[in-house]
Amino acid sequence: MINVLQKQYEGFLKTPCLWKSNSVFDLQQFEITSALKKIDIVLNDNLRLGKYVERLVSFELEQLNDISILAENIQIQDEKITLGEIDCLLLRNDKPIHLEVIYKFYLYDESVGNSEIDHFIGPNRKDSLIEKLTKLKEKQLPLLYSDACKPYLEALDLKPEKIIQQVYFKAQLFMPFSKSNIELKTLNTACISGFYINQNELHLFENCKFYIPNKKDWLLLPHTHVEWTNLEAFKTTTQDFFEQKFSTLCWIKFKNGALKKLFLVWW
């Protein structure tokens, strides 16, 4: 029996950060190297994926001797209005860090925007990388310096001007199947996890097998121990997704045994 949580954690650890150092928006990546350890926590399966990943990060940080977590998921409120949330406050070698944790899936569409970063959008076209970066820069990170945040920091004996702000921004990137010559100049090419196709391109994969993992298993590296389906059955299963305008992540097994991730998009 495969330990699903262990495999999810392994997939998370193997997902690279979206850029190196502070090369994007001057947002400094939190850089750590973690050995794969047996994960022995219980996670609520009802958590949405972003919150689920935060719990994986929490476990990862707790394994490191030079890091101690001070507080997590701090809701910053002004009277009864919630202004936002601080993901994590920690000490690394006794230096305080405000860490924002992000794990995303983005697809490259060159018809959107004018730059490499502009071109990456969410699978359902409802969000984008540029929107997330702007929100981090203009809303989430500045929250630390707000008047409403002061009492929370004082309770931890922290001064905002002494706190280093970093992001732990991991992502899986998917490129259009029809264009194989795209080169990334800004973002980490190691984040490219697969490709995406639409309904009209399905016929190109007639000899392949397919599997649709649940949302938490989007973290996983594809493996063979699942119930694969042929193209015709896959088309039937995914018809609802097109009608609901929902793009789903799938695994594909080629005739030569190669396993890949792909997004089947409705647009």
Cβ neighbours of residue 30 under 8 Å, at least 6 residues apart? Answer: 97, 99, 166, 167, 168
The token duo for 152 is: 């929370």
Percent residues over pLDDT 70 in the chain: 99
Evaluate whether 262 touches 194 at the Cβ level (below 8 Å). Answer: yes
The verdict on 75 and 155 lying in the same domain is: yes
Alpha helices in 184-249 (DSSP H): 231-243
Are the CB atoms for 169 and 135 separated by under 8 Å?
A: no
List the Cα angle 114/116/117 in 5-degree steps. 95
Q: Which two tokens stand for residue 261?
A: 């991730």
Going by pLDDT thresholds of 50, 70 and 90, the confidence category of residue 180 is confident
**Same domain membership, residue 208 and residue 93:** no
- Give the span between the Cα atoms of 109 and 123, in whole angstroms: 10
List phi, psi (to 5°) of 37. -120, 165
Do 118 and 68 belong to one domain? yes
pLDDT number for residue 2: 62
Question: What does pTM read for this prediction?
Answer: 0.95
Q: Is the CB of residue 140 less than 8 Å from the CB of residue 102?
A: no
C-alpha–C-alpha distance, residues 87 and 224, integer Å: 35
More confident residue, 181 or 200: 200
- 262 has pLDDT over 70: yes
Q: Write out the residue range of the structural domain in which residue 24 sits.
A: 4-177
Looking at the fold, whether 234 and 147 belong to one and the same domain comes out as no
Judge if 168 and 205 occupy the same domain.
no
In a domain? residue 187: no
Q: Percent of the chain scored above 90 by pLDDT? A: 96
For residue 87, give the 3-state DSSP assignment. Answer: strand
Instruction: Give domain status of residue 184, yes or no.
Output: no
Distances (CA, A) of 146 to 70, 99, 140, 151, 223: 19, 16, 11, 10, 46
Q: How confident is the model at residue 1 (pLDDT cuts 50, 70, 90)?
A: very low
Query: What is the DSSP track for 137-155?
Result: IIIITGGGGSGGGHHHHHH
Q: Are residues 134 and 27 in the same domain?
A: yes
Write out pLDDT tens, residues 105-134.
Answer: 999 999 999 999 999 999 999 999 999 999
| 242 within some domain | yes
Number of structural domains in the chain: 2
Among residues 154, 177, 200, which one ends one of the domains? 177
Instruction: Spell out where the chain has E strands.
Output: 67-78, 81-92, 95-108, 120-121, 164-176, 192-198, 209-211, 248-253, 259-265
